[in-house]
Structure formats: C-alpha cells, structure tokens
Chains A and B, each alone.
Chain A
Amino acid sequence: MKAFFTLVFILLSSTTFASEQAEEIFAQLTPSLYQIKLIDKASGEKSSIGSGFQISNDGIIATNYHVISSYARHPEKYRIEYLDHQGKMAEVELVSVDVINDLALVKRQVEGEMPYFQLSDQKPTKGEKLFALGNPHDLGMIVVPGTYNGLKKESFNERIHFTGSINSGMSGGPVVNKSEKVVGINVATSGNQIGFLVPHDKLVKLFNDYNKEAPTDIKQQMAEQLLANQNKLMKVLLNNTWQSKELAGKAMIPIIEVPFIRCWGDSNADKTDALILAAIANCSLDENTYLSSHFFTGSVEIEFRYMQAKNLSDNKFYHLYQQQIARAGAGNRAGKNDVSEYQCHHDLVTPSSTANTNKEINNKSIFCTRAYKDFPGLFDVLYLGASVDKNQQALVSHFTIAGVSQENAMAFTGKFMEAVSWK
C-alpha cells in the first residue's frame, strides 16, 4: 500500500522516555527552544501550535512552514507569537520561508547575548542516536531519543528517516546529535515510530540566503520556490527515457523510472461476476507540497486502465466505459481562494508515433487546467485519454500534475500522448 504521511499536527502521543544523556541535552538546550503559536487576531485564541528553535544570536528562530502557513497565506488575519521556557510570550516576525522543504524563519526581539542552537556541518551516520525536541500537544517541552536511518529512498525532496516518535506539536522542533548540533527538523510522521525530518543543510541554505539578502515579499518568495521546484522536477521527468511497458498484454504504456515515482497495480481478475475485466497500473509521486491546510501542490499521478468486455454488446461496453471516465478529479486539494475553476478541451486524437502501424490508437483526449490565484504561472493540469477504436477493449491513460508551468505541462502532455498505444 501507499505510504501514508500525516503532518505532525494530528497524531496522538505515545510514551517517551529520556535517558541520562537526553536529560543533559534537554537542560542545556531548553532556553533556545520555543513554542510557536499562531494567534487568530479576531478571537485572540491560538489557531495552531508548533515548535521552533533559535539559530542565531540576533533572534532568528527556525520552525516549519506548515506551522505558520496560515500567516504566510493570510498575514492580515493572524499574528505569530513565541512562548519560551520561562513562559514569556512575544510577537515574532516572519522573515523567510522554504515552502518546498517546509521551513520558515521568524525573528524575535533580543536584548543582549542569547544562547542558540549550532547547526551541524556534517550528516549523521546510519544508526546514530539522535534526540528530537519539541512540545507535543501543548504538553510542554520534551526530548525523544531515536535513530538516524538515512534519507528516505524514494523522495524527490530529501527527508531523513528517523526512528522515534514525533508527534503533533513537535513540528519545527530541532533534532540534535550527541554533540548538541542540529542535524534535522521535525516535520512529519507516518506513525509507529517512523518520523521524517528535514535535513539540516536545507536550513543552512535558507539561513545563509536570508543573511545574504532577506526576501521582501513572502508570497513572491513562495512563487519563485514553487516555480523552481516544478522546473527541477519536470526536467527530471522529461529527460528520463520513458520505458515502454505492456499492460495486460494488450497495450503499451510509458513507465518513468525514477526512484521517487512509485507504481502499483491492481486488477479485478478474481471477480467472476464483473462485466468488464480491468487491469490498472498507477504511478505517483509520493510527496506533495503543503501550502495551507486546504491547498496542496506538487503532486504527480499517472494511471492506466485496460478494460476488456466479457459477454457484452459494444454499446453496453462503451456505456459502462463512459461511466468509468466521467469523473476524473484533481490530484491535489485546492479551494476557491486558491485556484480558478477548470477549463477543458476535448478532441479525437491519434498520436503520430502510432499512426498507420498495428499499434495505432485513436483516443478521445480531454485536457483540463486551472490557474493558481496567488502564484501566477502555475497551473494544475489533468489529462484523460480514452481509446475509442476497439469494440470490446479500451485503454484509459490519465495523469494529473499539480503546480506546473504551462510549458512543462504541455511538454509532458505531448510526450505522454505519444507514448501510449496498443501493442
């Protein structure tokens, strides 16, 4: 089954223990640890909480983007506050974000010298003992020991696989090694002691970039990051030589062999009463970019479905087939304030690569796109091709890409359409 990520917000707490070493680390680092709260201005109550840690003498605090995402999207509605170990509260200012790696920098006012976290200059080694710090469920600062298990294999944007409990509210907290240097930032969990961290070098880069030149507009900064990231992703996808693979022995479909796109298959061969035999292959990018609680982007989904009629008239087969393709939806969640409605175009298309060969396929092709309201030049696209040239067989080829430029979307669509054929 698909690996399933939940942002650290939601999960329930489990027991933690602290060794002697952990105690020591905790005692030394706690003055630089903060709880980061997003306060709704109108009600005066907190709307989300996370953790953060100071990384400079002048009051720069690192946290997760998703902790302060509501503020980044609607700065007029919220303010950000910190709560330190002595219970002092004050407002902080959002100075920079890295939306792709889920990082944010906020700045507090400081009077005089302050202790702060050192960022590590090297990667941890596999099996190394690490300590995750944070404030789960508003229960107070805790320390969780765990193990470094390398980078998550199939991720496009690197994540550290950390074996240890990371819970809701610990988001944005630091993970340190024995020498108390930050090697990662708590970001996500998939339960059962599997946690994910943002590698420290992403934070180092963000911090250095900030020191060089502070961004003037957070939305603009996000737009640039999203655009750059989709360029990077689409470049890898488009430059990859797509392998042609058989589906159910009847159709040829493209498989993009990159580690971060994972494929799964299914069929209904065991269901004897089904009127249509179906074999499905779907491939997807196992990560997406969090923009707000109702707005995700960066996902890629590809699906192929081969169908064969069993004792059906052609008309009935096509009638049921139409019902199968009538409700393709977006691959990512987005709302009224985030995107426009979809605009669609459909036509009958025969790819030139298959024309006049025995592989020739004639598709009813549907292409839809919607534009991002806050990030001009980014679109969600959806393609659906349904073969209409065989009486008793059908091939559906479908993909969705979220947060992509027009140029990349069309290059991908063209390549994809040419790559699907009968065998």
Chain B
Amino acid sequence: MEVGMEVIQCTEDCITEIEPTKQIKNDDLSIEQGEIIIEEISRNHKLLHRHKLNRNEVSIGRNYHNDIILTDPHICPQHLSLKYSQGIWHLSDNNSVNGTLLENSLDKRQDAHQQVISDGDVIILGKSQLRILFSDHQVSDTIALSPFESLIDLIRHPIAVFINVALFMLIAGNISYLNQQVETNISQLFVSAFSMSLLFSLWPAGVALVSHLTKNEPRILAQFGISFVFFILMWFSDLLEQVVTFNSASNSALGLLITLLPILLAFSLFWLNSYIGFHMSAKRRFVVALSITALLFGGTYLLQYSKKREFNPHPNYNATIMAPVFLIAPSNSVDDFIKQSNGLFEQASKAALEKD
C-alpha cells in the first residue's frame, strides 16, 4: 500500500483523494453504497469475466493495486476510475496514454473524461472492452426449451450416434461395393467405409471446434449425431432422385422438383449445426444456414460451370438405370417415343442457327 501511494503521487492521485471527501459530506447517500457489475467482454461482445462490486469507487488498470486488473499492454497502470456519487456513476480517465472511449447503447462513441455511465454502456480502453451493468439491468425473457432439444437429446445419445455412424458406414461400404469393377472382399470395403466416415466426421468435428473457439459449448456428440443423420438422409434423397429419374421421361417436372430435396436437407443440417453449436438470434441463424447452403451449392454449380467445355461433341443424356424392383412407371410405346423425339430436331436446328 505504502509503496503504491508513493509511486502514484502524480496529478491523478490528487483527484482521487479529493473525491471521497465529497461523498462523506452527503450522509444519506453514503449509506447507499454503489453497486456495479463490470463485464470484461471480447471484441465481438462475448463475455470473458464478470465482476460484481459493492463499493463507491472502482479503479481499473494494469497495476496490481487496481480493483480490476487488466493485462492488455495498451492500458495504463492506473487507467481510469469509476466513482459513485448521488446515485450516479462517473467515469474519469487518469490521463491515460491511449485514452478511454465510452460507447453507449445507442452506439455512439465519445471520448470519456468525466462522463456519466448508464446501464449497458461499454468502456473501450486500450484494446479491451468493459461493459457496465447495474443490478437493475433488464434481462431478456427466458427461452423455452424447443422440441428440438428432446430430439437432439435423443440423437446425441452415444448409442444413437454409434448406430448412425454404423449405418453410414454400411451405406458407404455398399456404395463402394457397387462401384468396384472387380471382386472385392469385406476388409477392403470396411477400409473404404471407415475412411469415408472419417472424412465425413470432419464436418461435425469442425463445427464443434469452431463453437468451442467462439466460447460456445462444443456439444461434439450432438453435432456428430445430427450430422450423420443428415448424411444418411441425403443418401436416401439421392436414391429417391435416382428412382424418380429412372422412372420418368426426360420431359417430366418431377425430376426437377426432386433436385431441390438435397438443398433443403443441407439447409436443415446447417441450421441444426448452428442451433446446437452457437447462441444466436433466429434470424441470424437462418441467414447463416442459408449462406452456407448457397455457398455449397452455388460453389458446386460454379465449379461445374467453369469446367464445362466450350463445345461438347458427345451427347449428354441421363443414363440412370436400376434393377427391375425399382421400376414402377408404365412403359411408353415406340410411336409415342418417336413423336416426343421428333421435337429434338427442331431444337437442334435452332441451336445450329445460333451464332456463337
């Protein structure tokens, strides 16, 4: 204490000594002690630490004498002090090198020397931010647990996650079995299914890591469970799309409709990922999920578009065929097929006339 007093025998110190004397004069107010909540927040307003202090004066700085000690090197040893008098908290900057800014809830920044602090204000000092709250601060309404929570609870159960991953591996193994041109054995299929599921695990793991890094709860199991459920659903939508294109003619509208299904599924997955991993408003969550979906499908489309050759000398047709069990549509007659194909000649002639 003594050493500290000696070091800070500069101008600022004199002011601090005067202030309490004023407060002592007002007996009725001195009974009412100041109560302040100071939150250390990150730049994107994430809470780092919270201090609740019951006193009339709070000093903030890098020095260890302070009530709130900050480590930011851009902050002075005795950077600022907050004083309570007549029911009002004042902020005073102690001639700090980098100054102090006060940002009120209206988002107006102003230089803070002798300022009145109101509830919710953010003090910017150095590269750090402090949010000031009073104990009568209005908290937002309680959010009821959504029905998703119970669904997520079900999906994040280790047994459910295990079943999902196992099902995914089974599907991945089946796909690689179908694609093998030569005879294969189980261990080869297992290896490819395992590596496939490892690859797909990167997504939920990545999401969990990001939510951990942004000071959210990672909830790894929930992310894994929900992601693999959707991977499986997407495979089913793929199968459905194949069945539809196999059973319908090229001029069918159903084929177009079915291509929207994977987009919808991807959007739902991203929405749930952000629901599980991050605290954000419903609107923001919607926008984030929509943006990632647009990025994924738009990016894929762009990639395909950029790869497209200037002129394709080969026909580009849909050759989807499936085993007879998937055949549900009735067959057409040769005459109808010829009639429908006749329209192609006109299209081709029109395309031939186009100047490139």
Contact = CB atoms under 8 A, between A and B. Distances in A.
Interface of A: 273, 275, 314-322, 325-330, 333-336, 339-352, 362, 364-373, 376, 379, 382, 384, 386, 388-391, 406, 409-410, 413-414, 417-418
Given A340-B349, A346-B318, 15 more contacts: A314-B324, A322-B320, A330-B314, A340-B348, A342-B317, A346-B249, A348-B247, A348-B249, A352-B333, A368-B344, A371-B348, A371-B352, A373-B352, A410-B342, A417-B334
Given A388-B324, A417-B334, A342 B315 contact: yes
B250 A347 contact: yes
B249 A347 contact: yes
Interface residues of B, number: 52
A347 B349 CA distance: 22
A369 B250 contact: no
A390 B324 contact: yes
Given A352-B334, A410-B342, A314 B325 contact: yes
B351 A340 contact: yes
A322 B245 CA distance: 13
Interface stretch (B16-24, B68-76, B173-181, B221-229): B173-181
A369 B321 contact: no
B341 A413 contact: yes
Contacts, number: 174
Contacts of A347: 249-250, 332, 336-337, 340
B345 to A, nearest CB: 4
Contacts of A391: 323-324
Contacts of B342: 406, 410
Interface in B307-356: 310-325, 327, 329-338, 340-345, 347-349, 351-354, 356
B314 to A, nearest CB: 5
Interface of B: 177-179, 181-183, 246-247, 249-251, 310-325, 327, 329-338, 340-345, 347-349, 351-354, 356
A345 to B, nearest CB: 5
Contacts of A343: 344, 347-348, 351
A350 B332 CA distance: 6
Contacts of B179: 319
Given A406-B345, A417-B334, A362 B327 contact: yes
A333 B311 CA distance: 13
Contacts of B316: 341-342, 344
Nearest to A330: B313
B323 A366 contact: no
Nearest to A341: B312
A188 to B, nearest CB: 24
A383 B247 CA distance: 19
Nearest to A372: B352
B317 A339 contact: no
A346 B331 CA distance: 12
B320 A366 contact: no
A341 B251 CA distance: 18
B348 A413 contact: no
Contact of A368 (B178, B315, B322, B336): B315
B318 to A, nearest CB: 6
**Can you list the 7 inter-chain pairs with the closest CB atoms, starting with the nearest?**
A342-B315, A336-B311, A340-B351, A371-B352, A371-B348, A347-B249, A368-B315
Contacts of B337: 345, 347, 349, 365, 367, 417
